A = this chain, B = another copy of it.
Amino acid sequence: MISKKMENMVANSSAIRAMFEEGNRLAKLYGAENVYDFSLGNPNVPAPDAVKKAILDILEEEDPVALHGYTNSNAGYEDVRQAVADSLNDRFGTAFSAHNITMTVGAAGGLNVILKALLNPGDEVITFAPYFGEYRSYVNNYDGVLIAVSPNTVDFQPKLDEFEEKITPKTRAVIVNTPNNPTGVVYSEETILKIAAILEKKQKEYQTDIYLISDEPYRELAYDGVEVPYLTKYYANTIVGYSYSKSLSLPGERIGYLVIPDEAADSENLIAAANVANRILGFVNAPTLQQKIVKACLNEKTDISYYNRNRETLYQGLKESGYTCIKPEGAFYLFVKSPVEDEKAFVQAAKKYNILVVPGSSFGCPGYVRIAYCVAYETIVNALPKFALLAEEYK
């Protein structure tokens, strides 16, 4: 008998994963080139050549005992953390040092670490629908309660009035994700300033510390010259979670980091707690070879032109077929309005054309579907006529 908490989890196991496995099944039946699998955010731009070069250099130069051994600190190699801090300071004018950086097993590992460090049972964590469904699982791991602000389907910027109303004395943290999965929106500086102002006001009112957790694996995937603000500069109690999954196309390798600035309330304790949580949750330390790889590749620019061409092609094509969708400025997702209210029925209909997309209900936003365009360009070109045929069914 499995634990009660896991019973629910297993029963409602990720719709995204199920779709991905469905895609593999259809590919075996019809051939991969005849399946248009837009379901999983698995980057298909290869890791830059610098990654392979880094691995070869590291194998040549590093002593294997040091390379593959436990790191001195559970937070990771000090030189790697210093290099990450220096890089952030160069880019954003921040003032971090190695001390503020904890290397983590991807962003998912980092979120688990910081939530374990922060949450007491019953603590509330606010996020904005549509949101990455795993946030609910991560918060539930530590007996917190996820409170979702309802989606603003006009432009998918956060509904700030509802946000303010939903903050209570039990609100421990707010998770934002910009550029956003599943909508692709980037929060403007104006939005960030307003969120910060609301939080400052509520902290004073309730005499609590409310941490703003910025989950930013898509930071480097921003188009049209859009700037992605660095949130620690707007609000002191900000914690940043980052990952190289999308920026260096290393999602399977599990490497990212947390930033806990000195300015955050109780930062010394928080940093110590993150260190211990990293260890006792079983991560122990972020994979050592990967830490060294990211240090070597810190200045690699993500080649976003590939995703951008997909974005433009897909967006234009869907608009021409009459679909409703905002043009996303970041990440690699389109969030498209379903022609029928029950988007799960639309998802089923799409399968007839070997098109796989994810229902918006998985992100707390029914009536929409998520289309991940981290796929081959040809997949998009070949899928568009099918999307057109699918649209015809609803006219």
Q: Which residue numbers of A lie inside 8 Å of B, CB to CB?
A: 1-6, 9-10, 13-14, 17, 20-21, 24, 40, 42-47, 51-52, 55-56, 59, 63-65, 67-74, 104-106, 108-113, 116-120, 134, 137-138, 141-142, 209, 249-254, 265-266, 269-270, 272-273, 276-277, 279-290
Contact = CB atoms under 8 A, between A and B. Distances in A.
A137 B116 CA distance: 13
6 contacts: A10-B276, A45-B65, A46-B65, A67-B252, A68-B250, A68-B252
Contacts of A279: 14, 17, 108, 134
A317 to B, nearest CB: 24
B252 A142 contact: no
Contact of A251 (B43, B68, B134, B289): B68
B3 A105 contact: no
Nearest to A115: B3
A64 B46 contact: yes
A47 to B, nearest CB: 5
Contacts of A65: 43-47, 249
A363 B71 CA distance: 22
Contacts of A141: 116, 280-281
A372 to B, nearest CB: 12
Contacts of A63: 46
Contacts of A21: 72-73
Centre residue among A3, A106, A142 by max chain B CB count within 10 A: A3
Contacts of A117: 2-3, 6
A10 to B, nearest CB: 5
Contacts of A134: 279-280
A253 B116 contact: no
A254 B252 CA distance: 13
Given A3-B117, A74-B17, A281-B141, A9 B273 contact: yes
Nearest to A123: B3
Given A253-B289, A276-B13, A118 B284 contact: no
B118 A280 contact: no
B269 A10 contact: yes
Contacts of A13: 272, 276
Given A3-B119, A46-B64, A117-B2, A282 B10 contact: no
Contact of A277 (B6, B51, B56): B6
